[in-house]
Structure 1
Amino acid sequence: MNGFPLDIVLAIIGIAVPIVAFVWEFVLVGRKRLGYRVQMDTPVTGEIESVFPGVLPQLRPDGGATAPDLQDLSVVLVRIENSGITDVDSADYASPESDPVGLHIHFPHRRVIGMAVTELSDDALGDSLKPGTGIGSREDTQHRVGIIDLPKVPMDRGDHYKILAILQRTAGAGEYPEPVVRAKLKGGRVSETRSRVGVSPKLLALIGFLVAVIAAQFVFNLDDNPASGEAADCVSGTLTLVGSTAFEPAVRDAAAEYGKHCAKARFTFEFDSSDRGLSREDEEGKNNPGLLAISDGPKGVGYPSLVPRTLAMSTFTMIVNPAVGVHDLTVQQIRDVYAGRVDNWQLLGGPDLPVRVVNRALGSGTREAFRAHVLGDGQPPSPAVTSCRGIAATNPPGVSFCEVPVTNDMLKTIADLPGSIGYSEYSDAARASGVETVTIEGHTPDRDQVLGHTYPFWSVEYAYSNGELPADSLAAAFLRFLTGGTGKDVLRAHGNTPCGELPNPTSCTP
């Protein structure tokens, strides 16, 4: 987002706000705090005597015939507590030193008939609540408010006491207005506390704030995530990819995946063989970072200016027409077939069917990998070749040889030509219809077999540029994507093993 570290700012806010809230709540305003809670406010019934036996006689004032008629009475129980984190001393009450009263409980529309202290968390509190300490009751007749005055009681952290009062209505009807405690603390506050059941609104607000911060970070990261918009290594431009037809499907899919992240990146594909791709890179790639060649194996001699980069270990397989009926061959049998020493599949346990040997044309990286890893240098020159289509049309007796230029032609020829044998990149063959793969000496073309040196037919896929690529070029970004990004998943899905995932990446050489 234009280089502004919004994610860092959000993280700092997410940490700072809870800390500030804690300091504000418990160190500053909440460090010294008195709380009050109305635990009961109910009309007088017979149940009061059962809950507080012997209390009502204390509350009913003496006076004989002059005693007030106790009609429309209610009983209120108020808890006063030190809800802060420090002790509260007598000097902490914000009232004149000469005034012994520190708290006032107001009962709108009611007068106080009587009162008593019913519970002390510490017996020592009783010394501050005796008659003559400032405790008492009175009435503000002008505003019809009954008032209980409470002294400046010193309270340690967590201390509390309760006041039970019997009241008589003086105005109004229905539910009584709620009692209110009024007082001031120096450097603190007095506030109503709630029963600790459920979640407090402040905690809910803090949780909501943190959720909002997390959501904002998620949206920000989603916006910066390569999967949702422009990739972190997204470069616009056009890149032409040439070379290996065996590796073409994997490269095409990787380019499509890169294009999902980088809408301004354009790819063109002109694969026609490894050798032709290298030649074109050598001729047209100088000072042209928009051209990249893919090769099944190293470049060989004649291309001194081409810079190699290993991409993945690729496995190949022998393939046959389904009519051949042979599912495993030894290396020597493959060599005999491609030397023309086997002219009928009966000699290898198959049906009475002449052998049709299909090779890739010269310049094919797959053909070079086949020669280097399977046939070997001692193989005699290939017999004369003819047209694959001509062989299919004339069906000559004995062994016949033909060549095809690209992988798709190899797969189609093997599927259409009875008795044919060829080779292909394994993942292409596995997806093709009308061909069957052949194991080599009982071993299958997978990574573990190759790393264990039991399966011989494999090679390394290379990318070549003419000289070093500019770091900000699409070609350089795409290579980084292939070797270190989601592109590796694409290569793996096509049966290749990215070189960077090998136990020893330096061993990713043919």
Structure 2
Amino acid sequence: MSGIPWDTALAVFGLAVSGAAGVWEFTLVGRKLLGYRVQMDTTAQDAAAAPFAGVLQQMQHNGTPLRDPSFVLLRIENSGRAPIVEDDYLAPDGARAGIRVAFRGRRVVGMVVTELSRSELGSFFTPDDHGPGSPQQVPGLGVSDGLIELPKVKLNRRDHYKVLAVLEREEDFREPAFPDPEVVGGIVGGVRRGRMRKTEYYPFAAKPVRALLIVLVLVLIGESLFMLLRSDPEPAPLDCASGTLTLSGSTALAPVLREAARQYEKVCPDAHIPLSDRTFQGSVPGLSALAAAGKKARLTGSQGLGDRLAFSDGPKSEDGRPQLLPRPVALSLFTLVVNPDAGVKDLSLKQVRDIYAGKITDWNQVKGNDVPIHLVSRNPGSGTRTTLERQVLGGRSLPAATVSDCASLAAAEPGRCEVADTETLLDTVASTPGALGHSEVGAATAQDGVEEVRIDGYPATLEGADEGAYPYWQTEFAYTYGEPPADSMAAGFLRWLADEVGKDVIRSHGDRPCSELAKPLLCRPS
């Protein structure tokens, strides 16, 4: 089979099996086929003692009550696709009977034809009329002790008739269960050498056909597995870009961007977005790194960087850098977080401002525990810090740090320290009694050992921001250096963030995609 692909060979083999099954079923089996079904074979022991037994209590044969009667309902049918006529039956010349049914261990005490598929079949079971006083006999139909003989009935396709036999146990038969009835008969030119076939379970197909169908199913499964294993990887979506993209900026948005980068690399196998512990160092450092990279690239005309993006909590400061172009990505929520030792879960906006102004220095001044307040803040340039100053503190800057290292905060005195990233801030608040800090909501929710603080009774929710009741929120911007090429990694990743999967990632971290707001370009609460 050299030169013939395996999938083609399997497909040809499957077609061959299908053809063989069709030829067998519709050509060979389509010839004459005489079948039978034993539709009932049951006993009627202890009939006299059974309630409502009725006529069963009075069943007799030659005036003697039946001791252990049983009943057999037999269906004789044309199971093939061609009619069966009298000359088709395998029987000696001149014989009237075409089928014999034997009941080992039982003798026949009564028999009747109970159902005909067509009324015309009744003529085969009508006695010959030889005049008054003559015995009423049906040619070919007879009953002996353990045997029933049935006539050569003409049967068109799907014709059938049923025979009900009443039997009595032979006195010398001691087995608890009776053997199945033995049906003997055949036709000339039929399949399986013309023998009758039992058709209780699969009247639609012969056993060889079922075997061929099983082989066909196995072939199809094998071909599917072969195609799956050998198939080339699915092509990347048309909007996928290739190359390397460098991200920087907001630590608050870092969890969203890390997950989004991993998802984008899965969808776009030729894309690479390297991430490390130092990828996100804050909004201002990220913008500075983007500006420096663009200046170093010495771009000409309207050309922009296509391999870098910086993310910022809020818009850039008004300090130049006109080459940095903003694109709103998400509406983020921030929250104040406190060490549980403080004993507070809700602060008014005035209390928050007085705490950061140094007017309130112990939690007992706001109905909390007698614990000094330790303020843990982000370094200058942090978007969450800038948003805290603008949105919550009314534009007032944070006071100067009292120590350079948060580990140096005195337990019995109020103080303030600064850290570089959100993760370190949350860990510090969790380990410092009386500590108060600020964080992105998704990161705060996932951090053990800290509690979120309501402001004026309102938790950090998008609904609260929409109503104007919750003040600590900010628009997250993605910044490019100039206009990136449409086929670049920067442009592709931004489009992906605004698409369904990207929006799902943003929502999963508690933020709201800008594209879902009433004014996406402003990206502010409704």
TM-score, with length taken from structure 1: 0.59
1:182 to 177, 181, 189: 189
Q: 2:314 corresponds to which letter in structure 1?
A: G
Instruction: Report the counterpart of residue 422 of structure 1 in structure 2.
Output: 437
Matches within 5 A, 1:209-220: none
Matches of 2:283 and 2:510 in 1, distance apart? 19
**What are the Cα deviations for residues 70-110 of structure 1, in whole angstroms up to 9, with x where unaligned?**
xxxxxxx99563855xx97xxxx9xxxxxxx8953446xxx
Assess if the C-alpha contact under 8 Å between 2:507 and 2:513 holds in 1: yes
Secondary structure in 2 aligned to 1:411? helix
Assess if the C-alpha contact under 8 Å between 2:346 and 2:453 holds in 1: yes
Shift of residue 436, structure 1, vs aligned partner: 3.6
Shift of residue 343, structure 1, vs aligned partner: 3.8
Q: Which runs of 5+ in 2 are unaligned?
A: 1-13, 39-60, 62-73, 100-112, 129-138, 141-150, 164-181, 295-302
Matches of 1:365 and 1:300 in 2, distance apart? 11
Matched, 1:274 2:290: no
Shift of residue 244, structure 1, vs aligned partner: 0.4
Q: 1:277 corresponds to which letter in structure 2?
A: G
Instruction: Report the counterpart of residue 3 of structure 1 in structure 2.
Output: none
**Superposition RMSD on alpha carbons, in Å?**
5.5
1:349 to 356, 367, 376: 367
Shift of residue 331, structure 1, vs aligned partner: 1.3
Assess if the C-alpha contact under 8 Å between 1:388 and 1:413 holds in 2: no
Q: Aligned in 2, Cα 1:509/1:78: closer, same or farther, shift over 3 Å?
A: closer
Assess if the C-alpha contact under 8 Å between 2:241 and 2:489 holds in 1: yes
Q: 1:182 corresponds to which letter in structure 2?
A: G
Matched, 1:250 2:247: no
Instruction: Report the counterpart of residue 197 of structure 1 in structure 2.
Output: 201
Matched, 1:104 2:88: yes
Q: Aligned in 2, Cα 1:324/1:497: closer, same or farther, shift over 3 Å?
A: same
Instruction: Report the counterpart of residue 314 of structure 2 in structure 1.
Output: 297
Shift of residue 345, structure 1, vs aligned partner: 3.4
Assess if the C-alpha contact under 8 Å between 1:103 and 1:183 holds in 2: no
Instruction: Report the counterpart of residue 456 of structure 1 in structure 2.
Output: 471
Matched, 1:115 2:121: no
Instruction: Report the counterpart of residue 405 of structure 2 in structure 1.
Output: 389
Q: Aligned in 2, Cα 1:289/1:345: closer, same or farther, shift over 3 Å?
A: same
Assess if the C-alpha contact under 8 Å between 1:106 and 1:182 holds in 2: no
Shift of residue 389, structure 1, vs aligned partner: 2.5
Shift of residue 243, structure 1, vs aligned partner: 0.5
Instruction: Report the counterpart of residue 35 of structure 2 in structure 1.
Output: 37
Q: 1:290 corresponds to which letter in structure 2?
A: D
Shift of residue 318, structure 1, vs aligned partner: 0.8
Matches of 1:222 and 1:446 in 2, distance apart? 48
Shift of residue 370, structure 1, vs aligned partner: 1.9
Identity %: 36
Q: 1:289 corresponds to which letter in structure 2?
A: G
**What are the Cα deviations for residues 268-298 of structure 1, in whole angstroms up to 9, with x where unaligned?**
2321111222233344256432212222234
Assess if the C-alpha contact under 8 Å between 1:34 and 1:80 holds in 2: no
Q: Which runs of 5+ in 1 are unaligned?
A: 1-13, 41-52, 54-76, 94-100, 138-148, 164-174, 185-189
Q: 2:471 corresponds to which letter in structure 1?
A: P
Q: How many residues are paired up?
A: 406
Q: 2:95 corresponds to which letter in structure 1?
A: G
Shift of residue 260, structure 1, vs aligned partner: 5.2
Matched, 1:328 2:346: yes
Matches of 2:75 and 2:439 in 1, distance apart? 89
Q: Aligned in 2, Cα 1:507/1:206: closer, same or farther, shift over 3 Å?
A: farther
Q: 2:334 corresponds to which letter in structure 1?
A: F
Matches of 1:262 and 1:298 in 2, distance apart? 30
**What are the Cα deviations for residues 292-345 of structure 1, in whole angstroms up to 9, with x where unaligned?**
222223446545544544444322111234443332111121122223333443
Q: Aligned in 2, Cα 1:150/1:310: closer, same or farther, shift over 3 Å?
A: farther
**What are the Cα deviations for residues 234-286 of structure 1, in whole angstroms up to 9, with x where unaligned?**
65532211000112133223334444566654332321111222233344256
Secondary structure in 1 aligned to 2:289? helix
Instruction: Report the counterpart of residue 373 of structure 1 in structure 2.
Output: 391
Q: 2:357 corresponds to which letter in structure 1?
A: A
Shift of residue 481, structure 1, vs aligned partner: 4.9
Matches within 5 A, 1:357-506: 357-377=375-395, 379=396, 381-389=397-405, 392=408, 400-415=415-430, 419-433=434-448, 435-470=450-485, 472-479=487-494, 481-484=496-499, 488=503, 490-499=505-514
Q: Aligned in 2, Cα 1:33/1:237: closer, same or farther, shift over 3 Å?
A: same
